[in-house]
Structure 1
């Protein structure tokens, strides 16, 4: 297996805004993958709860909200599988490729006329594919930089901007076509986006990525493979049989399933931390860094619990509580999903420049996380104001949603790209890709909890709903800021 130094040297280090050329390949691959994902997500909630005569499935809104949260949770939870496959079987580049194929097939299934069963089949493909692709493409970004390269956080910020360029365009294109013409046509365009991402990745990876992602860091010994695959096959078969029986007997309802996912959202990361910490392959410094990662994980989970409601509660708010006319122009509720990436595109370069400019003087990672939580909390607290001023039965100005999305984006830029970067630095060597999967579990756990939380929302209780959740984020952010120095000590020299 190549050393870290050999991997870095194999990647052309200059050529994309002063960063490794491989960043160009990964930037545009992720651009198209996010175009497909966020395009589909911009219309998925509406597709589920719009009536049959409107081209939708006619589900109850509370059910649709919970399905959206569970779907989002499983998308990121599946990163565990992707990280394990990359670490022990295929390496990250091959895993990324196969993940892209699964995502494309999922969107193709959604583009075909069908009912609730077709929806769940397509979701399964996208869940598995995103789990294979999403954590591993970020791991490849980290491999192109040496541990102490000051360009690292800036590089992740640029990569993050590529993600959000795709996410910005997608709701405008897929959202408009899906809502104005046909939902299935919109899903078909999302499939084309993923195909373009696969083409970009295959054409550029050999020339620009060098050895990055080409090796298996913790391969399964030949003697172990048969035993492990046998156990996995038995476990999968048992899950299928038990699931079929429970569904047929009516025990496994949507509500029961969402509760199971919510519990797994807490249990799985807990097991992950225990396994990594107790592993004989984790040395003393790495064990300390695992401990430092726990409060960062919890903080990120709280952040995403707020941010991801932009595609659920705020999407419903845009559709039902917002005045969508601006003069003589009527806007689509799906377009609000472009606000988050639009603000990131506009502001991310400022943050990328700022971290390079400040260099060693920039705030530590725990303090960046604390500030991110503060802005996330404020993004919900401002939503109290229109309900207080105008009540909950009248349509409100769209600019309240604009302000909410803007505040959460500030928090996201303080937390998310920095979280990607610090994860690659704090990861134990034997769990590199799996630790990146653990980072994406912050989102999975948040949305697993949201599957229960979003059921509590109604226009009548908006003040309590937004106030309590926003207040919790502020309190946790304050605690993180106060204990930042202790967390930094546990990080053992990593900022």
Structure 2
């Protein structure tokens, strides 16, 4: 470690020069992402496949809407997971419960016993992921509590490499197992992956050195009793309302997806209003939150475009792309794996680049660059869709180019977003704000699931181009306010960080 840089004590075992606990979190997240992305790579194909081939037989627009709501729910429930960790369970225990629930969800989907187990499985995976995701990221931040921003950014980038290693393996294995309509075998493989992650987490508990053992702001006994009462009543009302809706005969998958999209848009508005009015947030923290709102909106637009990988881009790969590679027809879900592979290769390079640059490449600047680049990826996609509209299947190189461009955009925005969330979180709501970061993904994914309905009235090239222009415009707008956002975030110019020896 170069002189002047904080790090582990001399002689202590490290993980790529970082705290050993990062290895435990890296491995757990890797296997959780294996299960999540592996299943996601076949979900829309399963939902649209006819019943005669073991699928659900849903129309494409409905299947994409379900996909959008499912992915959004994963991130929407992250706010609940963060709150439970902050107030009741602590981050470490909440992650343990979440991983167990996720594994149960994948097992439910693996049951070849009808659609009921599929919907139950999706609900369980969403619930478990909401408990796990914000708290895994918060635990990474706890390992760097007393270290500088650049080193924490570097740690998050390495952690992000674990995310994409898991995604790469999941997207390679699960779609391959699904070939020939073996859907439930594929879902079972996702369950096994989550089991490996659970074992890794339990065995590596000691390396976390007590991080997340206790909630930062535990509820008093009276507050806990009141919470359980309100939560139980709320769940009962929601279940009763859903039952009445079903009995009325007006409940459909499309309408349910639309309602959840509206809820996903309302929740972050209400939660930010709550944070700004909370007496537990200091004036300095409130300034940081004001900057964070702009980062949040930028991230939502980013994920609206980026997470089309599991919906519109997956369907484009299936229907409009020549998947014959050296005489071998690859599964459609494999195409997007270039993203995971590229991140595995590029993440260490970006981590070193950001470490050397220090705060010269600020968080708002990273967001602006990421938004412009992800928008440009859909300009390419618009051209590809235009070529395919003539009825010919396009070269796989079109999609590979789109994913490679999006990879670069992701490496600018996503690790920086995780790090900024950890830095700007009010102390009383630390894990909850990590959940708010995932609300940006929820908002983008849910809206993205609904925007796909535009494809029934506009050509696909126009659809992609509209999304591209929205992302580029958002990036350019953020670029105009980089200096102001840096002041609100208390980011200062520092000398570049020396290279590691």
TM above 0.5, one fold? yes
Aligned position for 2:372: 374
Taking structure 1 as reference, are residues 10 and 92 closer, same or farther at Cα in structure 2, changes over 3 Å only? farther
The match for 1:180 is 180
* Structure 2: distance between partners of 1:277 and 1:81: 18
For 1:91, the equivalent position in structure 2 comes to 90
For 1:189, the equivalent position in structure 2 comes to 189
**In 1, Cα distance between the equivalents of 2:126 and 2:451?**
22
* Map of 2:362 onto structure 1: 364
SS of the residue aligned with 2:204? Answer: helix
Indicate the larger mover: 125-134 or 145-154: 145-154
Measure, in 1, the Cα distance between the counterparts of 2:218 and 2:309.
39
CA pair 234-389 structure 1, distance change in 2 beyond 3 A = closer
Return closer, same or farther for 1:494/1:234 CA change in 2, 3 Å cut-off: farther
Larger mean Cα displacement after TM superposition, 468-477 or 335-344: 335-344
**Partner residue, 1:200:** 200
Q: How does 1:19-58 map to 2 (within 5 A)?
A: 19-58=18-57
Among 478, 484, 488, which residue is 1:480 paired with?
478
* Structure 2 counterpart SS, 1:151: helix
Counterpart for residue 120 of structure 2: 121
SS in 2 for 1:44: helix
Any stretches of 5+ residues in structure 1 without a counterpart? 1-7
SS of equivalent residue, structure 2 residue 212: coil
CA distance in 2, matches of 1:460, 1:80: 35
Partner Cα separation in structure 2 for residue 183 and residue 359 of structure 1: 47
For 1:69 and 1:10, how far apart are their aligned partners in 2?
45
Equivalent pair of 1:109/1:121 in contact (CA under 8 Å): yes
1:24 counterpart SS class: helix
Kindly indicate whether the alpha-carbon contact (under 8 Å) linking 1:99 and 1:131 is maintained by their aligned counterparts in 2: yes
CA distance in 1 between counterparts of 2:237 and 2:485 reads 42
Please, which moves more after superposition, 439-448 or 384-393? Answer: 384-393
Deviations 1:4-42 (A, max 9, x none): xxxx99999751111000000000000111111111111
Q: Is the CA contact (8 Å cut-off) linking 1:11 and 1:212 kept in structure 2?
A: no
TM-score under structure 1 length normalisation: 0.95
Shift of 1:242: 0.9
Deviates more, 1:172-181 or 1:152-161: 172-181
Supply the distance in 1 between the matched residues of 2:482 and 2:317 (Cα, whole angstroms). 37
Distance apart, 1:54 and its partner CA = 1.7
Q: How many residues align?
A: 486
Report the counterpart of residue 169 of structure 1 in structure 2: 169
- Taking structure 2 as the reference length, the TM-score comes to 0.94
Is 1:108–1:191's contact at 8 Å kept on the other side of the alignment? yes
The 5-angstrom pairing of residues 65-464 of structure 1 reads 65-149=64-148, 150-180=150-180, 182-206=182-206, 208-361=207-360, 363-389=361-387, 391-457=389-455, 461-464=459-462
Partner of 2:17: 18
Residue 441 of structure 1: CA displacement? 0.5
Shift in Å at residue 389 of structure 1? Answer: 4.2
2:476 and 2:292 map into 1 onto residues whose CA distance is: 17
> 8 Å contact 1:42–1:171 — kept in the other structure?
yes
Aligned match of 2:498:
none
Structure 1 distance, partners of 2:384, 2:46, is 27
Distance of 2:101 and 2:170 partners within structure 1? 19
Displacement of 1:247: 1.0
Alpha carbons 1:11, 1:210 under 8 Å: kept:
no
Q: Residue 459 and residue 176 in structure 1: after superposition, are their counterparts in 2 closer, same or farther (change >3 A)? A: farther
What is the CA–CA distance in structure 2 between the aligned matches of 1:479 and 1:19, rounded to whole Å? 36
Secondary structure, aligned partner of 1:437: helix
Partner residue in 1 for 2:60? 61
What is the CA–CA distance in structure 1 between the aligned matches of 2:210 and 2:410, rounded to whole Å?
31
Pick which of 97-106 and 142-151 moved more. Answer: 142-151
Q: 1:3 matched to which residue of 2?
A: none
* Superposed displacement of residue 116, structure 1: 2.3
Q: Choose 180-189 or 163-172, whichever is displaced more.
A: 180-189
CA distance in 2: counterparts of 1:394 and 1:243, whole angstroms = 45
Give me the CA root mean square deviation. Answer: 1.8
Whether the 8 Å CA contact 2:336–2:400 is kept in 1: the answer is no
Q: Which stretch shows the higher mean deviation, 421-430 or 257-266?
A: 257-266
Give, in whole Å, the separation in 1 of the partners of 2:276 and 2:9: 32
Distance 1:221 1:11 in 2: 41
User: Cα distance, 1:337 vs. partner?
Assistant: 2.9
Unpaired stretches in structure 2, ≥5 consecutive residues: 1-6, 494-501
Deviations 1:367-422 (A, max 9, x none): 10000001110110001223444534211111100000111111100000110001
* Cα offsets for 1:113-170 (capped at 9, x unmatched): 1322221100110010000001101000000103542311110000000010010011
Q: Is the 8 A contact 1:392 1:460 kept in 2?
A: no
